[in-house]
Amino acid sequence: MKRKREKVFRCAGRTCGGCALDITDGLEEVLFCDDCFTAVEQSEVYWFVSHVDHGFISWSSMPSLVPSTPFPLGPCVPASASKDDLTLASKLIAQADAIFITAGAGCSLDSGLPDFRGRDGWYRLPSGEDLSMESIDFHPESGHLPESWALVVAMISAFRATSPHEGYTSLINALFSTPPRRPRAFILTSNIDGFFDRAGTPPESLFEAHGCMEWLQCTTVGSATPCAWSDTLWPLGDKLASLTGCEGVSSTDEISAQVRLDSSSLEASGNSSVPAEKVLKSHRIALDDISALPRCRCGALARPNVSHTTDADEDLCATRKGPQRERLLAWLAHERRVRSRLVVLDVGCGTSAHALRLDAEIVVANHNKAGGRARLIRIDPNDPVVPRGQLSLQMGAKEALRSLFGRTELSAENLNTILS
């Protein structure tokens, strides 16, 4: 997403050839010199930034113009598969003053939910093709609202029919119950299933970076003419349009009645991605009538308060996400200030361009730079590589979290057992 330039502190572009500008750490914006700013405006380049540092570019559509920021802990290497790694991880957690969790789709796999681009992922078609990044788009002018909402109905149905696995329970009980001794904790998740909330995470200790499917907003948010309720969210609840800020109330059953199975299927086209018009038949889901969809009080269609790759920051109502992120940044700043012993637990974050793996590494690097002691523990059954000096557990989320946090009371007795 492009950000307007106010005052240049460092240049993130390459048109200038690396001009010498003042460097300021912890920037909340990606900034450019005049030459690079003009080139960016003309090129339509876009990029992803870290949730914990908006000045950190994790991916760019045109690296020759706007390169990614170098890895904060260096490149990842294959992890040592030692049987002692779980014991070491337990000791690090037992000794920690604070624990920061980053959790991706892999954290919910053991609950029975698919990930997004895995073999049976939400964005993977039966033919083996991936949906293109443009296939899910809630902007009315895109023409993709019917298929986007059809996928929402399928996902919401799956989320509500599934419960957070025992690893969630073990983690939340250990970190947020009231035993004699507990570390300070905060959770950053890219998941939109609401599982951390359902598992009992205190609201003040949770940042849902991509939003949550259980909340709706107006589709005029971010447009040239936002409505008077553009800063309002309302819960999905038992009805797709709640009584708060909406009219034309339709129940979930009414919407589900508009979703039909289509026995037809498409031949594999051989392309690496599938355009939006193929989504309905490929997923065998179609939405017959968008008039049944929930609407804002202004009359415009509503959408989930979740971010997709077709959204810019300004397209999402920040009523929930804004304060959540502010609390996270304040929490991280406090831990740096007191130079705590911090464990960063990366659970099932995957390797996509907008995954949270990089956020976990940024937090470790920034904490150590401030004089604290931080260590990364990465949990991933398929791709557990880590930067040198960090720890990896090649395990599923449920097994790993139960093993690490199954003894919910971090009491002196349990601590002595772990540390002995």
Under the banding of pLDDT at 50, 70 and 90, the label for residue 136 is confident
User: Domain 76-110+163-210+322-419's class?
Assistant: alpha beta
**Residue 235, token pair as written in the block:** 């819960």
250-287 pLDDT, tens per residue?
Answer: 333 333 333 322 322 222 222 333 333 333 333 333 45
Per-residue model confidence as pLDDT tens digits over 64-117: 888 888 889 999 988 776 778 999 999 999 999 999 999 999 999 999 887 776
From 168, 175, 211, 205, select the one nearest 191 (Cα to Cα). 211
For the chain, give the mean pLDDT.
79
Contact between residue 260 and residue 303 where contact means Cβ atoms under 8 Å apart: no
CA-based nearest residue to 90, from 315, 420, 336: 420
Q: What is the pLDDT of residue 398?
A: 97
**Does the pLDDT of residue 188 top 70, yes or no?**
yes
CA angle 417, 419, 420 (to 5 degrees): 65
Q: State the average pLDDT over residues 193-210.
A: 96
Domain locations in the chain? 1-70, 76-110+163-210+322-419, 120-160+214-311
Instruction: Report residue 181's pLDDT band, with 50, 70 and 90 as the boundaries.
Output: low
Global pTM value: 0.82
Is pLDDT larger for residue 112 or for residue 317?
317
Beta strands per DSSP E along 254-301: 259-261, 273-274, 285-287, 295-296
Judged against a pLDDT cut of 60, whether residue 304 lies above it is answered with yes
3-state helix, strand, coil in the chain (%, to 5): 30, 20, 50
Residues composing the chain: 420
pLDDT of residue 245: 33
Alpha-carbon span 385 to 12, nearest angstrom: 28
What mean pLDDT do residues 297-312 have?
91
